[in-house]
Chains A and B, each alone.
Chain A
Amino acid sequence: MINVTINSQKIQVPEGSSILQAARQIGVTIPTLCNLEKREAIGACRVCLVEVEGARTLQAACSTPVHEGIIVRTNSTLARAARRQVLEMLLSEHDGNCPTCDRSLDCELRALADEMGVSRVPFEGLRAKRHIDDSTPALVRDNSKCIKCRRCVTVCGEVQGVGALFPQGRGFQTVIGPAFMRDLDGVACVQCGQCAAICPVGAIVEKSCIPEVWKAIENPKLHVIVQTAPAIRAALGEAFGYEPGTRVTGKMAAALRRLGFDGVFDTNFTADLTILEEGTELLTRLKTALVDKQPVALPLFTSCSPGWINFAEFYFPQFLPNISTCKSPQQMFGAVAKSYYAQKIGRKPEEIVVVSVMPCTAKKFEAQRPEMNVNGVRDVDFVLTTRELARMIREAGIDFNALPDEQMDAPLGLSSGAADIFANTGGVMEAALRTAYEIVTGRELPVANLHVTAIAGLGGVKEAALTITGTKPEWSFLEGVELKVAVSHGLGNTRRLLEHIKAHGSPYHFIEVMTCPGGCIGGGGQPRFTDDSVRLKRIAAIYSEDESKKMRKSHENPDVQTLYKEFLVKPLGEKSHHLLHTHYKHKAK
C-alpha cells in the first residue's frame, strides 16, 4: 500500500493506482472525458489535470500513478483554472449548438462546462469543416462536434473488436473515423452503436425516425402498433430520473398508449416464440448429428442480435451455417403482426405499421435488410431506440413519473419470465435450456430458481454443461449426453471465442452471442451513461422481472400456444419457415 495525500486527506491505496483511482476511493471527483473504466488511460483530453506537489507541471490524474508520499491538490485555484482552460479550448473547437443537438440533455461536455463554471469561450478556435455521415441506417456522425477524446476508438476496437474508427491524419486536421475519411458504410462497421453510447458529446448519435413515427400515428388510415424489447423496461426510467435498475414496465405501457399507438405489444411475446423455434432447431440438429449421423452445422449460434449477425457476415463467414435461421424476436413480431394479427383484426398487412422500441441501433439496420419482409411487406417499419422513445414522451408532454402502471394489450403482449431475460447476457441460453430440457425430459430444468448461474453475469465468455438423464422415449438418443453451452457478449470476447473454435474446434452444442457488453441491457440505444455498475443494476432488474412472474418458461405461454394452434401449426413448420426464418450471406470487408 502507498501513502497518498489528496486535498489534505491521508489515505492508503494499492500500488499502481492512478491519482484518479485514489481520489475516487475517498469520494473526490475529478472531471474526466477520455478515461474509460477497465481500459488503459490514454491521457488525451487533459480535463483531469491536478496539482502534484513538487511536479513542474500539472498532471493528468487518470494516467499519473501515485507514488509514496505524493501530495495532490485537485481543487486548488491553479488546478481548477487549468482544467477550465482545457475545457475552454475544447469548447472553442467544438461546434456547439446545444439547443439543436441530440445530446443537449445528457452531454458530458456541457455538464462539465457547467460544473467548472465556464461562462464564456474566450477565443474562437479553428473549427473542423462539418461533414455529416448518415451513410448507415443506424447512426449519424458529425465530426464538427467531435472533441477527439477517442472513447469511440477504444470501444470499437478493444471492446467490440471491430476497429472501424481510428484517428486519421494528425494535429488539428485529425478526424476520428473510418479509413480514408470514408463514411461508416465504407468499412466493416456492424452498427452496434456502442460508439454512440460512449461518445460524451453529440458527435455520434442514432439516426432518428421520430418524425416518421409521429406521421404514422397521426394517419387515421393506418393501424400503428408498437413492440418493446425486454431491455427497455429496465432502462427507460433512467431517462426520467429513476435510479438505474428501476423497472418501469407498467409506466412504459401507459406512456405508449398515451402517445397514440393502436396496440401496445411486447417483443417478449416473440421472444417466447423464438425459444420454441430455436429450441426445436437445436434439438433437430442434434438429432441429425446423433441419430441420422448426417453432417450438420454444430454448434448452433443464437441469431437475435443483429450486430453479431453483421459481425459474422463480415469476419466469420465460415460460421454462417451455424447461426440459427430464426429471425430475431423483433422481426418475428413484425411478421406475426402483419399476418396472424392482421387476420384477427381484419386489416390488410399494408395498413399495419409496426414500430419497435429497441435498446439497439443495429435493429434499425436489421429492420431494413432486404430479407426481412413477407411477400414484399416489411416486417418492421420503424425502429426507435430507448433514448428516442424517452424524447417522444417528453415531446408529447407526458409526465412519465406520474403515470399509472398499465398492462400490455392482447394478443401479442403476454410473455413468460424466460422472455424477459433475453435482455441479459446468458438470458437467451437460460430461456432455451428451461424449455429444451423440459421438452426432452418432461421435467423442469434442475437448477435452483431456474437460473443457470454459470452463464450469468459480466464474465467475458462463460460456459456450462448439463448432463441429460431420464429422457422421454422420443428423445432417448439424448440420454446421458452432456450438453455443453457457451455464452459471450461484446464482440471482442466473441472474436476471441470464435478464433479459439477455429483453431481448436468446439466442444459446445449451443452458443449464445450478444453484440453489446452485458447484452441488450447495455445496448447502443440505451440511456447514457452505461458502465458496469449500471449494467449490473439493469441485469438485476431483469431477473426480478422474471422472478415476479408465475409463468417463467416460454412453452407455457398460452398465447404462443394459441398462435401455433390457430395459425403456425408447429415449430419449424411451413408457415414458420415462411414467416419466421431467414438466411445470411458473406459480406466483403
Chain B
Amino acid sequence: MTSLSVTAAPCSCACSCEPSEAELFARLDEVINDYHEKPGGLIPALQTAQSIFGYLPETVIRRIADGFGKTVSEVAGVVTFYSFFTLHPRGKNLVRVCLGTACYVRGGKEVLDAFRKKLEIDVGETTPDRQFSLEVGRCFGACGMAPVVMVNETVYQRVKPARVGEMVNQIMAGAAVAGEKEHA
C-alpha cells in the first residue's frame, strides 16, 4: 500500500512555522474524537481534516475510517462524491475554468487548454511547485461575460487563450492582472 507523505497546508499566521506530521495527526485524532459519535459527523470531520492537511491523503482517510468504524471504501466514496474534498494536495492558487454551456460555446475549452499547456498539468492536478491547481467548473453565474475563469475568489471575464500565459505570470508575481476583473 502506498503511503503518501503529508505536507502541511501553509499556516495562515505570518510566522514561518510548520507543524510536524505528528502534530497534524494528533490534531486529526482530536477531530475524530469530537465527531465520531455524532450523527452525520463524518462530513464535518473530513472538512476539518482537509483544512488541517490541505487535502485528504490516504493515510488520513484510513485513520478517519478506523475512527468512525467505517470501511476505507465507504469513506473514500464520500470523499470522491463531494467536489470540495480533494485526494491530492491543492496548489496555492486554484484555477477553475468554466465549461458551462455559455462559456463552452465562447471558447472555454480553448482557455482550459491554454492553462493546461502553460501550467503543464491536467485537470485535477497540481503543479510540482504547489503554486497552481487546475479544475473545471459548471457555470459560475456570469454567463454574460463568458468565457469565465476563477482564480481563488477572483473572477476573470472574457478570458482570451492568448492572455493566459501573462495571467499566470502575474498571479505568480502577486500582481493584479490587467483586464476585466472583478471580485466575487
CA distance in complex: A179, B64 (Å): 13
Residue-by-residue, is A162-180 near B (CB-CB < 8 Å gives 1, otherwise 0)?
1111111110000001111
Q: Which residue of chain A is the closest to B71 with respect to CB atoms?
A: A163
Q: Does B51 contact A (CB under 8 A)?
A: no
- B80: chain A residues at CB < 8 Å are 168-170
CA distance in complex: A270, B158 (Å): 77
Contact: B1 with A166, CB < 8 Å? Answer: no
Cross-chain pairs A/B with CB under 8 angstroms, 19 sampled: A157-B74, A164-B71, A168-B73, A168-B76, A168-B80, A169-B81, A170-B81, A179-B71, A179-B72, A179-B73, A179-B77, A180-B58, A180-B76, A180-B87, A187-B71, A187-B72, A187-B73, A188-B71, A589-B72
Q: Does A470 contact B (CB under 8 A)?
A: no
- A179: chain B residues at CB < 8 Å are 61, 71-73, 75-77
A375 CB to nearest chain B CB (Å): 34
A167 touching B81 in the complex, CB below 8 Å, given contacts A180-B58, A180-B87 = yes
Q: Does A186 contact B (CB under 8 A)?
A: yes
- B163: chain A residues at CB < 8 Å are none
Residue-by-residue, is A235-256 near B (CB-CB < 8 Å gives 1, otherwise 0)?
0000000000000000000000
Residue-by-residue, is B79-106 near A (CB-CB < 8 Å gives 1, otherwise 0)?
0111100010000000000000000000
Among A174-211, those with CB < 8 Å from B are: 177-180, 186-188
Residue-by-residue, is B44-82 near A (CB-CB < 8 Å gives 1, otherwise 0)?
000000000000001001000000001111111100111
Contact: B70 with A163, CB < 8 Å? Answer: yes
Contact: B81 with A164, CB < 8 Å? Answer: no
A141 CB to nearest chain B CB (Å): 13
CA distance in complex: A372, B154 (Å): 63
- A589: chain B residues at CB < 8 Å are 72
CA distance in complex: A165, B58 (Å): 17
Q: How many A-B residue pairs have CB under 8 A?
A: 47
- B71: chain A residues at CB < 8 Å are 157, 162-164, 166, 179, 187-188
Residue-by-residue, is B157-184 near A (CB-CB < 8 Å gives 1, otherwise 0)?
0000000000000000000000000000
A132 CB to nearest chain B CB (Å): 19
- A167: chain B residues at CB < 8 Å are 77, 81
Q: Which residue, of B70, B73, B77, B82, has the highest number of chain A Cβ atoms within 10 A?
A: B73
A451 CB to nearest chain B CB (Å): 38
Measured as residues with beta carbon below 8 angstroms from the partner, the interface class of chain A is 10 to 19
Measured as residues with beta carbon below 8 angstroms from the partner, the interface class of chain B is 10 to 19
CA distance in complex: A490, B144 (Å): 58
Binding site for B on A (CB under 8 A): 157, 162-170, 177-180, 186-188, 588-589
Other CB < 8 Å A-B pairs besides A178-B72, A187-B73, 7 of them? A163-B73, A168-B76, A169-B80, A170-B81, A179-B61, A179-B71, A179-B76
- A165: chain B residues at CB < 8 Å are 73
B1 partner, pick from A164, A170, A186, beta carbons under 8 A? A186
- B82: chain A residues at CB < 8 Å are 170
CA distance in complex: A179, B74 (Å): 7
B88 CB to nearest chain A CB (Å): 11
B106 CB to nearest chain A CB (Å): 24
Q: Which residue, of A165, A167, A177, A179, has the highest number of chain B Cβ atoms within 10 A?
A: A179
- B76: chain A residues at CB < 8 Å are 166, 168, 179-180
Q: Which residue of chain A is the closest to B66 with respect to CB atoms?
A: A589
- A177: chain B residues at CB < 8 Å are 73
The 5 closest A-B pairs by CB, nearest first: A163-B71, A179-B76, A166-B77, A166-B73, A179-B73
- B81: chain A residues at CB < 8 Å are 167, 169-170
B68 CB to nearest chain A CB (Å): 12
B6 CB to nearest chain A CB (Å): 16
CA distance in complex: A170, B73 (Å): 14
Q: Which residue of chain B is the closest to A170 with respect to CB atoms?
A: B81
CA distance in complex: A177, B73 (Å): 8
- A178: chain B residues at CB < 8 Å are 72-73
A115 CB to nearest chain B CB (Å): 32
CA distance in complex: A249, B87 (Å): 53
CA distance in complex: A490, B31 (Å): 34
CA distance in complex: A548, B74 (Å): 47
- A168: chain B residues at CB < 8 Å are 73, 76-77, 80
CA distance in complex: A563, B78 (Å): 56
A190 CB to nearest chain B CB (Å): 12
A163 touching B74 in the complex, CB below 8 Å, given contacts A179-B61, A186-B1 = yes
- A157: chain B residues at CB < 8 Å are 71, 74
- B72: chain A residues at CB < 8 Å are 178-179, 187, 589
- B83: chain A residues at CB < 8 Å are 170
Q: Which residue of chain B is the closest to A178 with respect to CB atoms?
A: B73
- B87: chain A residues at CB < 8 Å are 180
CA distance in complex: A215, B29 (Å): 56
CA distance in complex: A334, B170 (Å): 72
B81 CB to nearest chain A CB (Å): 5
Q: Which residue of chain B is the closest to A164 with respect to CB atoms?
A: B73
Q: Which residue of chain B is the closest to A166 with respect to CB atoms?
A: B77
B53 CB to nearest chain A CB (Å): 16
CA distance in complex: A525, B105 (Å): 52
Q: Which residue of chain B is the closest to A179 with respect to CB atoms?
A: B76
B152 CB to nearest chain A CB (Å): 24
- A162: chain B residues at CB < 8 Å are 71
CA distance in complex: A179, B58 (Å): 9
Q: Which residue, of A163, A164, A170, has the highest number of chain B Cβ atoms within 10 A?
A: A163
CA distance in complex: A168, B83 (Å): 12
CA distance in complex: A166, B80 (Å): 11
CA distance in complex: A164, B1 (Å): 16
Q: Which residue, of A178, A180, A187, A588, has the highest number of chain B Cβ atoms within 10 A?
A: A180
Q: Which residue, of A162, A187, A588, has the highest number of chain B Cβ atoms within 10 A?
A: A187
Q: Which residue, of A157, A168, A188, has the highest number of chain B Cβ atoms within 10 A?
A: A168
CA distance in complex: A513, B31 (Å): 37
CA distance in complex: A427, B92 (Å): 62
Q: Which residue, of B70, B81, B82, B87, has the highest number of chain A Cβ atoms within 10 A?
A: B81
CA distance in complex: A122, B71 (Å): 40
B78 CB to nearest chain A CB (Å): 8
Q: Which residue of chain A is the closest to B74 with respect to CB atoms?
A: A166
CA distance in complex: A168, B81 (Å): 7
B69 CB to nearest chain A CB (Å): 10
- B73: chain A residues at CB < 8 Å are 163-166, 168, 177-179, 187
B99 CB to nearest chain A CB (Å): 14
Q: Which residue of chain A is the closest to B61 with respect to CB atoms?
A: A179
Q: Which residue of chain A is the closest to B76 with respect to CB atoms?
A: A179
CA distance in complex: A157, B72 (Å): 12
CA distance in complex: A157, B70 (Å): 10
Q: Which residue of chain A is the closest to B87 with respect to CB atoms?
A: A180
A20 CB to nearest chain B CB (Å): 27
A301 CB to nearest chain B CB (Å): 23
A178 CB to nearest chain B CB (Å): 5
B126 CB to nearest chain A CB (Å): 17
